[in-house]
C-alpha cells in the first residue's frame, strides 16, 4: 500500500476560456470543471487508476463535499476530522494551454488536528510500502512539519517520498541528512533550493539541452542522505538519479492544455513502475509519460490506467 498525505487539500475548479485571458477585461467562461485536488490526492488518484492500492490522508470536515468528491473519483481516503471547509483553487485555462492559477490559503489547522494527522500517518505507515508527503502547508502548520514527520516515520520502515516547495522545502533542506527522505521529486528551481544553487540556471541549462548541472545537483543530494531524485523539467524532460546512477528521458511531443497535476502524475507514474518492480530506466519512462499525458488533458485531468505500450518517452543513461 502507498499512503499519501495532503495537508492542504483543495477542490480544483477549472474555468475554460474560449480565448486567451484578458487581464483587466471581461472574460467569458465556456465550461467549469471541479475535481478533488491537492498533490497527494492527485498521486493517490493516479495510483488507484493504475491498480495500486493507495490511501489518501487529509484533514477535512467529515461532511465536507470534498470527501464525497474523492469517493466518486475512486480515491480511498482516510479523513482526519478538522474544522474549516476545504479550500477551492481556481485555474483559468485558455485553448493554447496557458493556465493561470489562483490558490486559496485553506483553513488554519489547530494543534489538536495536527496531532491527529501525525498519529494517523504513523499508524498507516506500519503497513505501507511508501508514505508520500505532498504539497503546501496550510496556516497553523510549522514549516518544518515535513522534516519532523520524516524523522518520526523512519522507524516505521516505510520508504518516504517528499514533494513540496518554498518554505517547507527549505526547512527540509536545512535538516538533511537527519530528515532525508528516500525520494524527492523537485523541479529545477526546487532542486536548486535543496542543494543551494541557482535553480533558474539549472532549468535554463536543461532547456538548452545541458542536463549536466541538474545531474550534479541531484547527485549532491546523495551526500545529504537522499537516495533518489526524480527531477521534472517540463518540456525539457526529466532526470532520475538513483543510488548515484543517472538517466535522462525526453518529454514526448504533446499539445499542452494544462500543467496542473503534471508533476503529481509524474511522481505517481514513477511509483506505479516501482510497484511493478521495473528498472530505474523504466520508472523514469513511466514518470515522464504520465506527466506528459497529464499536461495534454484539460483542467486537473489525470492519466488513469495508461497503457504502457503507448509510451513514447525515450531514455538514455548519463555519465
Query: How many residues can be counted in the chain?
Result: 319
Q: Is 143 a catalytic residue?
A: no
Give the separation between CA 223 and CA 216, rounded to whole angstroms: 11
Q: How far from chain centre, in Å, is Cα 295?
A: 14
Give the separation between CA 314 and CA 7, rounded to whole angstroms: 35
For 50, what's the count of Cα atoms within 13 Å in the CB-facing half-sphere? 30
Q: Which long-range contacts (CB under 8 A, 24 or more apart) does 98-102 make?
A: 98/20, 98/21, 99/258, 99/259, 99/260, 100/21, 101/260
Other beta carbons within 10 Å of 105: 10
Q: Tell me which of 64, 163, 242, 264 is the catalytic residue.
A: 264
Residue 70: in which H helix or E strand, if any?
A: helix 65-72
Residue pair 54/9 in contact (Cβ under 8 Å)? The answer is: no
Give the separation between CA 173 and CA 269, rounded to whole angstroms: 25
Active site residues: 264
Amino acid at each position: 500500500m502507498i499512503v499519501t498525505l495532503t495537508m492542504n487539500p483543495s477542490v480544483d475548479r477549472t474555468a475554460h476560456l474560449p480565448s486567451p485571458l484578458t487581464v483587466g477585461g471581461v472574460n467569458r467562461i465556456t465550461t467549469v470543471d471541479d475535481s478533488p485536488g491537492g498533490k497527494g490526492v492527485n498521486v493517490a488518484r493516479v495510483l488507484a487508476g493504475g491498480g495500486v492500492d493507495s490511501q489518501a490522508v487529509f484533514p477535512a470536515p467529515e461532511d465536507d463535499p470534498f470527501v464525497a468528491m474523492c469517493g466518486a473519483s475512486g480515491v480511498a481516503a482516510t479523513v482526519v476530522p478538522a474544522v474549516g471547509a476545504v479550500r477551492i483553487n481556481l485555474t483559468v485555462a485558455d485553448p493554447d494551454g496557458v493556465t493561470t492559477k489562483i490558490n486559496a490559503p485553506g483553513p488554519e489547522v489547530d494543534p489538536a488536528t495536527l496531532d491527529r494527522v501525525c498519529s494517523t500517518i504513523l499508524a498507516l505507515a506500519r503497513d505501507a510500502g511508501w508514505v508520500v508527503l505532498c504539497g503546501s502547508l496550510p496556516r497553523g502548520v510549522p514549516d518544518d512539519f515535513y522534516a519532523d514527520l520524516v524523522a518520526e516515520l523512519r522507524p516505521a520502515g516505510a520508504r518516504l517520498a517528499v514533494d513540496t516547495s518554498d518554505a517547507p522545502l527549505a526547512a527540509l533542506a536545512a535538516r538533511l541528512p537527519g530528515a532525508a527522505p528516500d525520494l524527492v521529486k523537485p523541479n529545477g528551481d526546487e532542486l536548486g533550493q535543496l542543494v543551494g544553487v541557482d535553480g533558474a540556471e539549472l532549468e535554463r541549462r536543461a532547456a538548452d539541452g545541458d542536463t549536466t548541472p541538474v545531474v550534479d545537483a541531484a547527485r549532491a543530494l546523495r551526500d545529504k542522505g537522499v537516495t533518489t531524485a526524480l527531477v521534472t523539467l517540463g518540456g525539457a524532460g526529466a532526470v532520475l538519479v538513483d543510488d548515484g546512477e543517472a538517466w535522462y528521458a525526453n518529454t514526448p511531443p504533446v499539445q499542452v492544455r494544462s500543467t496542473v497535476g503534471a508533476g503529481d502524475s509524474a511522481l505517481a507514474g514513477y511509483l506505479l513502475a516501482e510497484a511493478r518492480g521495473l528498472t530505474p530506466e523504466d520508472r523514469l519512462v513511466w514518470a515522464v509519460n504520465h506527466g506528459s499525458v497529464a499536461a495534454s488533458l484539460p483542467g486537473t485531468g489525470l492519466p488513469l490506467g495508461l497503457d504502457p505500450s503507448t509510451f513514447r518517452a525515450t531514455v538514455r543513461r548519463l555519465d
